[in-house]
Amino acid sequence: MGLIVQKYGGTSVGSIERIQRVAERIVEYRQAGHDLVVVVSAMGKSTDVLVDMAKQIAPFPSEREMDMLLTTGEQVSIALLTMALHQRGCDAISLTGWQAGVHTESVHGRARIQEIDNRRILAELEKGRVVVVAGFQGISREGEITTLGRGGSDTSAVALAASLKAEKCEIFTDVAGVFTADPRVVPSAQKLPSISYDEMLELANLGAGVLHPRSVEAAKKYKVDLVVRSSFTNEEGTYVKEVADMETGRVVSGVAHDEDVAKITVIGMPASGGTLSKLFNTLAAQQVNVDIIIQGSYDSELTNISFTVSADDLHKALETLSANQAALGFERVEHETGLSKVSIVGAGMINNPGVAAEMFRQLADQDISIKMVSTSDIKVSCVIPAEHTGLAVRTLHTAFGLDVKEQAVVHGS
């Protein structure tokens, strides 16, 4: 029985009662003979409460002081969970980020982990203790408390698993695993027994929301076997690893969708590379995230460029373009709302060139118009009218054979 790193998110430790349940689960693992390092997030909405207090004081508080403030959230969780373990006769100790040796860049709010000095953790494991570590936080070279930004606790867990050469890293969350589609849209959606890092990355970026892309990237880089599973049940979750089990021969692993997409078309731009980079730099400077980009022909001196943004960013994007029209030199801007993005993801696509064509045919058969297309090795995304989102997802889910439950796959340990 080897070492397992577990991570429990904010929902999983959102109340005293849930902390008790997490403690019970940990005790079961201990009884089964596992060594455990447990990473926890701040309790439920406690981070929101802290952010709200800060906002009452300063609209743009210093990032250093925000880190000072927010890191208290995980510190509360680790102390309470450790007390709950003691109460069950389980030897355990809590460690803050700096005590656990999580060294990061000297940046606040979004620091990357640079190194883990795992000596203290190893010494505590040696004493037979469960080590409960505050996720999301670390310490800079200058002795400052830092945070890892969004998805930070997942990243903490993966980095610790890599450093400690853990058998696996289990991410406990409020869903049972990674599904072939959003079960709220596709009732026949199946939980995937396994998925590759690359597929998970595409799904994570597409808004599947189970794991932050950053933690998946770290897992891929350090070859950490990840498991996503529910903290409320004993169900097996989804393994995320180098290569998913291929015995099912599936081509597509999942269908993702992203609603509230808006399309902007900039008409009559000077057709030079410099202008294009100026356009997207100007938008990036205003924190507008651009997704799919399609450029018209370079035949003339002027070109048209279409791109998508989230509907939330539309107003800001249009304002930014308007304010910079002279500098960018375009004629006019058009935009379209009420769109969504539907994507199929699967490592099997690499060897199956007809997949994109099949996707287009399926959508056409349902009279769903395709506004834009974007592809990668393992993903095809189509922008369509939002009112057809559910139909499109269900159609593709069926067409690519995802309605059927996969064979259970036995994972050795």
By CB under 8 A, name the binding residues for a copy of itself. 16, 19-20, 50, 53-54, 56-58, 61-62, 64-66, 68-69, 71-72, 75-76, 78-80, 82-84, 86-87, 93-94, 96, 99, 120, 143, 145
Shortest distance, position 21 Cβ to a copy of itself, whole Å: 12
Q: First and final CA of the chain: distance in angstroms?
A: 8
In this structure, are residues 336 and 402 in contact, taking their beta carbons and an 8 Å threshold?
no
Shortest distance, position 72 Cβ to a copy of itself, whole Å: 4
Longest dimension (CA), the chain: 76
Using DSSP's 3-state secondary structure scheme, residue 79 falls into helix
Shortest distance, position 130 Cβ to a copy of itself, whole Å: 13
Measured CA to CA, the distance from residue 18 to residue 172 in angstroms comes to 12
Q: Which CB atom, from 100 or from 200, has the smaller least distance to a copy of itself?
A: 100
Q: Which CB atom, from 122 or from 267, has the smaller least distance to a copy of itself?
A: 122
Backbone torsions φ then ψ of 238, nearest 5 degrees:
-110, 130
Q: Which CB atom, from 132 or from 162, has the smaller least distance to a copy of itself?
A: 132
Shortest distance, position 132 Cβ to a copy of itself, whole Å: 9
Q: Which CB atom, from 42 or from 218, has the smaller least distance to a copy of itself?
A: 42
In this structure, are residues 390 and 310 in contact, taking their beta carbons and an 8 Å threshold?
no
- In the block, which residue shows the tokens 């250093």? 64
Using DSSP's 3-state secondary structure scheme, residue 323 falls into helix
Shortest distance, position 73 Cβ to a copy of itself, whole Å: 8
In this structure, are residues 112 and 133 in contact, taking their beta carbons and an 8 Å threshold?
no
Q: Which CB atom, from 19 or from 347, has the smaller least distance to a copy of itself?
A: 19
DSSP state of 281: H
Measured CA to CA, the distance from residue 102 to residue 107 in angstroms comes to 14
Shortest distance, position 99 Cβ to a copy of itself, whole Å: 6
Q: Which CB atom, from 126 or from 247, has the smaller least distance to a copy of itself?
A: 126
Name residues whose C-beta falls within 8 Å of residue 406's C-beta, 6 or more positions apart in sequence. 190, 192, 193, 248, 250
In this structure, are residues 71 and 188 in contact, taking their beta carbons and an 8 Å threshold?
no
Q: Which CB atom, from 72 or from 376, has the smaller least distance to a copy of itself?
A: 72
In this structure, are residues 383 and 339 in contact, taking their beta carbons and an 8 Å threshold?
yes
Beta bridge partners of 264: 307, 335
Q: Which CB atom, from 123 or from 350, has the smaller least distance to a copy of itself?
A: 123
CA nearest 384: which of 400, 403, 360?
A: 360
Shortest distance, position 146 Cβ to a copy of itself, whole Å: 13
Name residues whose C-beta falls within 8 Å of residue 213's C-beta, 6 or more positions apart in sequence. 151, 201, 204, 205
Angle separating helix axes 213-222 and 197-205, nearest 10 degrees: 170
Q: Which CB atom, from 84 or from 204, has the smaller least distance to a copy of itself?
A: 84
Shortest distance, position 162 Cβ to a copy of itself, whole Å: 23
Q: Which CB atom, from 24 or from 334, has the smaller least distance to a copy of itself?
A: 24
CA nearest 248: which of 204, 197, 198, 193?
A: 193
Shortest distance, position 45 Cβ to a copy of itself, whole Å: 14
Tell the burial category of 401 from Cβ atoms under 10 Å away from its Cβ (0-12, 13-18, 19+).
middle
Measured CA to CA, the distance from residue 66 to residue 98 in angstroms comes to 17
Shortest distance, position 54 Cβ to a copy of itself, whole Å: 6
Which contiguous run of DSSP H or E holds residue 168? Answer: strand 168-173
